[in-house]
Amino acid sequence: MHANTVTAQLTPAGRAIERDSFAIIDAEAGPHAYSEEQWPLVRRMIHANADFEFNGLTVFHPEAMRAGFAAILQGHRPIVADVEMICVGLSAPRLQHFGLSTHHYISDPDVIAQASAENSTRAVQAMRKAWRLGKLDGAIVGIGNAPTALIELVRLIREHGVRPALVVGMPVGFVSAAEAKDLLRTVSEVPWITIKGRKGGSTLVVAAIHALLSLAEAAQRQQAA
């Protein structure tokens, strides 16, 4: 298989550090229950914060990896995030390679006004705005900060037939975070990747999506060979 050129580190030194880091993770993680497709994503999440508990805490819908690859390789899809941090963290050249665009609405004035009027959260109203704009169907949705965004997304899936291509649902926190992720794990209509418990965060969502982009590029290059 040809080496990745878009989703790899840009310098030989950077690539060497990343390669060595992954080798250390593989050695220290030891046996695991993840598939050959799933492990690179879990490994990149461990790499993002040096926490080996994600070997075991990370959970996949059976169709998650296939759905993620298909969405990325088809290209020209939105990535809808609960917070700007995810959009900023994703590599622009990697997204451009696949024609992917990022969207977040949590700081929009109308979202803030509606949250105040309804005594709800900005995260809830941001998901509703994404739905009204038609951005959720076929999208990769990344939620790393706001449990209420994930709870609202599940409601939209079940009550309004919203169909993202993949949900990367990893909100961090102490209020409703674990419960929101447990709720996502009950969803059968849409593929998802999530984490058990309180841990999570935007950094992990970015790591997971970058792993999908890297694996998709590798598959793309193999097909072209």
Q: Could you list the active site residues?
A: 47
Q: Which helix (H) or strand (E) holds 142?
A: strand 140-143
Burial of residue 146 (CB within 10 Å: 0-12, 13-18, 19+) is buried
Beta-strand pair 58-60/192-195: antiparallel
Which residues, in sequence order, are CB contacts of 132 under 8 Å at separation 6+?
A: none
Number of Cβ within 10 Å of residue 13's Cβ equals: 9
Do 169 and 184 touch, CB atoms closer than 8 A? yes
CB 191 within 8 A of CB 221: no
Nearest to 65 by CA among 185, 215, 183: 215
Query: 166 vs 12, 71, 122, 159, CA distance in Å?
Result: 33, 8, 22, 18
Residue 168 neighbours by CB under 8 Å, 6+ apart: 140, 141, 142, 143, 144, 192, 193, 194, 205, 208, 209
In degrees rounded to 5, what are phi and psi of residue 96?
-65, -35
